Structure 1
Amino acid sequence: MENKIEVKIKNYGLESIIITDNGSGIESENFEALCRKNWTSKLEAFEDLTRIGSFGFRGEALSSLCSVASVTVITATEDTKPMGAMLEYDEKGELKSQKPIAREVRLI
């Protein structure tokens, strides 16, 4: 589970905001819906709300960012390392491109 998040802001966020964590990565079956409003892969039943132990789960942050900025996600999992994926999303949170990229898991 992720327990460290690093945020780097360039030119007060006008040029870029880079967020890195030491989580386990995003599974490829979640790439398409990742930035859609109110989407989550972390809940299967309403009762799961009481047991969630990770950061963010309601699909608000990435969806909101897509509506005002260019969003690129780079991720890898234990199953895909040393390769990962670079994902680019449009203003509606739809996946517009996916490219392979060298990437390790738990970078921080």
Structure 2
Amino acid sequence: MTETTFTVTGTDHGLETNESTVTFGDQITVEGTIVGSDGGKTAALSAVVIDDAGTLTVTIETVPDENASPFVTQALLGIQYRIEIQTDRQAERVRIEHSGVDEWTATYTQA
């Protein structure tokens, strides 16, 4: 069983970099940026799954922002997010997957 909190923490027009960091501890914290195609996008948590090998896969996607103005920028949009995950199983690895302007993945291993 997992308990997850997902928050969009900000946006940056023109930012074209997918990135993430993972902190292991009492909970797993993921902070990152996913790239949206325009100012009318936001980020959403698509899935959080831990497999039998102890890999926690976290999938973030861009979706239409229901609160966006009808007159949005056409520039790429960096969307910053923070995810806090508590699981009842120990995750040895965390795989972050972005599905936005392009597909991007990164894998982190607990030291």
- TM-score, normalized by the shorter chain, greater than 0.5: no
Q: Give the alignment's TM-score, normalised by structure 1.
A: 0.27
Greater percentage in helix = 1
User: Relative CO higher for 1 or 2, CA cutoff 8 Å, sep ≥ 6?
Assistant: 2
Q: Give the alignment's TM-score, normalised by structure 2.
A: 0.27
